[in-house]
Chain A
Amino acid sequence: MDDFFFSLVLAGISVGSVYALIALGLNLTFWTTRTLNFGQGSLMMLCAVLTVFLSSQGLAMMLAVIGSLLVVAALGMFVERFAIRPALAAGGGSMGWVVSTLGFGIVLQGVAAKYFGSQAMAFPEVLFTAQDYVTVFGQHVSLQYLVVLALSVSLILLLELFVRKTVWGQAVHAVSHDPELALVQGIPVRLIVLGSFIASSLLAGVAGILSAQIGGTVDPAFGFDLVLLGFVAGVLGGMGTSLGALAGGLAVGLISKLVGGYISTAAEHAIAFALLMAMLALRPQGLLGRPEVSKA
């Protein structure tokens, strides 16, 4: 295989799998509340920054990662309680949650800048180093890229299995279809909504750690661009489906890298948004999504 093409494909599916994780995080809250947490980028940042901080305090790397994920999970609960629930309670199709989740993200950025500084800080090697690689068919394949890909795909498939095969997964589906009916049938809707925000935040945290490891540094502004691309991936794959998030993420990653490599790096991000516009115009439900039908 051509080295040039192979390098682009490998980088594309690796960063694409991170976009897929972010898209899945956005998907989870969309299922349960029809809202998106635009503060996901700041949660990614905070998780990575906390990992740097905790490990610099002498904590073992895995403990630092777990500690950061716990903080981010708690913040997911906070978002649901204070940014989403009041906005939805306002009723009337209020879009207040867009502003409140964005505001939450900006506040997190400010807090991180205040307490950890606004400079880029070095992110430690969590799994493998940038020099570690394996040779596949004579090609140099970075282990960091492979780990990002494997972890992301595994998490997405596990979540898909959970939703399809468990009672709780069916309950999530029920809440997604009709929360009021689900409540009447005794499903703990509030718990499921809360759970979806916790899971969404945890996915953002994992995505933050994985992408910070690729870049090597993290700063308070980290994550914002990634969430935009995760959103594109979610829409492309179809909001409401885990496999759609995976397909959308990989498609955005692959296409943008191939366009960047073969046409122009200046078009790398532009092509993602061009795809978003084309998808919204031609197939609004996305690649694997189903069209929504509203009954009067």
Chain B
Amino acid sequence: MARIGRRGFGALALAGAASGLAAPRVARGQATTIKFGFTAALTGPFNEFGEGIRRGAEIAVEEANKAGGVNGRRVELAEVLDDQLVPDRAVQNMRRILDNREIVGLMAPSGSGPTLAIVDMVQADGRPIINPQAQTPTIVYPNGPDRPPRPNVFSVAISNTVESEKLAAALAGFRNIGILHESTGYGVTGAQLVRAEIQAKRRDARITVESYNQRAQDMTAQLVRVQRAGAEALLVIGLGADFAVIRRTMSRLNMNPALFGTAGAVTVPYIEGAGDLVVGTRAASHASLGRRPMAASAQRFVDLYRAKYGTDRWYGPDPANPLISLAATVGSGYDCINLLIDAIRRAGSTEPAAIIGALEATRDFPGVTSAAISFTPQEHTSLKVGDLGMYEMVKRDGRVVLELRD
């Protein structure tokens, strides 16, 4: 057995005293840090979105700390947990985050399922949360769009309401329309809203609606039903990998309607999975990264991302033209954290009521998802129809790119 001599005891005593003196300093240091937390799909098949918002949040925090922090305090992502887009796991993670009383601001998970699962507990807790990506409108407005929002829940995501308005404007040019949607909350709500919008614009519209389960390997039955109905245009509401399966099946069935997709559908997995077949696909997505010149706030974000991560899967291969989906996958996370930081700076406090009050007073904040983000006590969603663009996939210099059409 090792023996500790008198000198050893002395050294231990000194070390103990030193650590005792140092401990309060460390604790005070931690207390002065402004802490944020979130759960997202950091791994798993949908990590394109969760890892995306993590990167966005990280860039926002680094940028804030480089500029001297917020009211003299550093900013920190204290709790970043992985839920793989599984609602149960998101609930467990959010419970752990909420148990940490030092967390002053939250970001919602990267999808409607987990966000709907956690939103009631976050509302009961009262701390502010901003939703980067989940599109279901009831996340912010549980009792309908004309009723008050949840007091502490804000959103910079493209809501189904806004997206359906944009898509319906384009789809109303056709009389016979097919809608193929995934069987999630996002897909079902999206299909209902688009259908209602089209019917409001065009009474004689004939709409065929079919659904599929995420990651289905064959969707022939759904597509031949749409084909049989004589659809001149088809809208797919879902994610990119499923959209690729649908597009390839359409080709095998010799189906050639005008093809539309949602912002979540026209992502990298769609382009990689369907190859050149994607050419001609039209989709509504953030207009910010498609405009030239970009707004200063969008350009700054793009430059920061490229400097940190380079031209990777999220950014795309062309340094001058980042993927349009970068705004939704990464930019939305960047905006959420920046909005929280801005609100804390203006409020001069990290108390939930003060932050929420400041968030509701946000006016024309320059972001990535929108060049002018505003909230009011009644309006907790920032994105408007004008913030979306209608894109068309075209092939240029051997690569598929999205060109802003409207």
Interface residues of A (CB under 8 A from B): 3-4, 7-8, 11, 15, 113, 118-123, 130-131, 133, 140, 142, 144-145, 211, 214-217, 219-222, 225-226, 256-257, 260-261, 265-266, 268
Residues of A within 8 A of B251 (CB): 130-131
B274 contacts A118, CB within 8 Å? no
Kindly report which residue of chain A lies nearest to residue B212, judged by CB atoms. Answer: A265
* B217-239 interface code vs A (CB 8 A; 1 in, 0 out): 11011101101100000000000
Given contacts A113-B43, A120-B45, A261-B225, contact A11 B273 (CB under 8 A): no
B48 interface neighbour in A4, A119, A142, Cβ under 8 Å: A119
Tell me which residues across on chain B come within 8 A of A221, comparing CB atoms. 45, 215
Q: By the criterion CB–CB under 8 Å, are A216 and B47 in contact? A: no
Task: State the CA gap A219–B239 with chains docked (Å).
Answer: 14
> Which of A7, A133, A256 contacts B224 (CB under 8 A)?
A7
Q: Please choose the segment from B31-39, B240-248, B291-299, B380-388 that sits at the chain A interface, where 4 or more of its residues have CB less than 8 A away.
A: B240-248
- In the bound complex, do residue A122 and residue B275 qualify as a contact, i.e. CB atoms below 8 Å apart? yes
Cross-chain contact B245 with A220 (CB below 8 angstroms):
no
B252 close to chain A: CB less than 8 A: yes
Q: Contact between A216 and B248 (Cβ–Cβ < 8 Å)? A: yes
Q: Quick check: A219 and B218 within 8 Å, CB to CB?
A: no
A261-B244 in contact (CB<8A) = no
Tell me the count of chain B residues lying within 8 A, CB to CB, of chain A. 37
Give every chain A residue within 8 A of B275 (Cβ-Cβ). 122
**A133 touching B252, Cβ below 8 Å:** yes
Q: Name the residue in A3, A8, A215 with the highest tally of chain B Cβ atoms < 10 Å from its Cβ.
A: A215
Tell me, in angstroms, the Cα distance from A220 to B47 when the chains sit together: 13
Tell me the bound Cα distance from A142 to B249 in angstroms: 10
A215 adjacent to B218 (CB under 8 Å): yes
Closest CB in chain B relative to A225 CB, distance in Å: 7
Contact B45 A265 (CB under 8 A): no
Contact (Cβ within 8 A) A119 B245: no
User: Which 7 pairs, one residue from A and one from B, show the smallest C-beta to C-beta distance?
Assistant: A260-B221, A120-B241, A11-B220, A142-B252, A122-B272, A130-B251, A217-B273
Contacts of B224 in A (CB 8 A): 4, 7-8, 11, 261
Q: Is the CB of A216 within 8 A of B253?
A: no
B211 within 8 A of A: yes
**Residues of B contacting A: mostly:** helix
- Cα–Cα, bound, A183→B47 (Å): 52
- By beta carbon, the residue of chain A nearest B251 is A130
Q: Which residues of A contact B45 (CB under 8 A)?
A: 118-120, 219-221
User: A265 to B248, Cβ gap below 8 A?
Assistant: no
Interface membership of B352, Cβ < 8 A: no
A118 CA to B248 CA, complexed, in Å? 22
Residues A121 and B272 in contact, CB atoms below 8 Å apart: yes
Which B residues between 302 and 324 are near A, CB-CB below 8 angstroms?
A: 313
Instruction: Given A130-B252, A133-B252, answer yes or no on A216-B220 (Cβ-Cβ < 8 Å).
Output: no
Q: A8-B220, A122-B272 are in contact. List 12 more A-B contacts (CB 8 A).
A: A4-B227, A118-B44, A120-B241, A142-B253, A216-B244, A217-B241, A217-B244, A220-B45, A225-B216, A257-B221, A260-B220, A261-B221
**A121: B residues at CB distance < 8 A:** 272
B252: chain A residues within 8 A (beta carbon): 130, 133, 142, 144-145
B277 within 8 A of A: yes
Q: What residue of chain B has the Cβ atom nearest to residue A8's Cβ?
A: B224
Tell me which residues across on chain A come within 8 A of B274, comparing CB atoms: 216
- B269 at the binding interface (Cβ < 8 Å): yes
Q: How far is the CB of A31 from chain B (nearest CB, A)?
A: 27
The residue in chain A whose Cβ has the minimal distance to the Cβ of B47 is A118
Q: Closest residue of chain B to A144, judged by CB? A: B252
Chosen A-B contacts, 18 in total, with CB atoms closer than 8 Å, are: A4-B228, A15-B217, A113-B44, A118-B43, A119-B313, A120-B244, A120-B272, A130-B248, A130-B251, A133-B252, A142-B252, A216-B274, A217-B272, A219-B241, A260-B220, A261-B221, A261-B225, A265-B225
- For B210, give the chain A residue with the smallest CB separation: A265
Question: Could you say which residues of chain A place their CB within 8 Å of the CB of B47?
Answer: 118-119
A211 and B245 CA atoms in complex are apart in Å by 11
CA distance A211 to B248 in the complex (A): 13
Which residues of B lie under 8 Å from residue A119 when comparing CB positions? 45, 47-48, 269, 313
| A222 to B216 CA separation, bound complex (whole angstroms) | 9
Name the CB-closest residue of B to A217.
B273
> What is the distance, in angstroms, from A5's C-beta to the closest C-beta of chain B?
9
User: In the assembly, what is the distance between CA of A94 and CA of B388, in Å?
Assistant: 60
- Would you give the shortest CB distance from B310 to chain A, in whole angstroms? 17
B220 touches A122 (CB 8 A): no
A15 touches B218 (CB 8 A): yes
By a CB distance below 8 angstroms, the chain B residues around A226 are: 217
| Complex Cα gap A220–B45 (Å) | 8
Task: Kindly provide the distance from the CB of B394 to the nearest chain A CB, expressed in whole angstroms.
Answer: 18
Q: Which residue of A lies closest to B48 (CB)?
A: A119
> Are B215 and A11 in contact (CB-based, < 8 A)?
no
Contact A257 B220 (CB under 8 A): yes
Shortest CB-to-CB span from B82 to chain A, Å, is 11
Given A140-B254, A261-B225, A217 contacting B269 (CB threshold 8 A) = yes
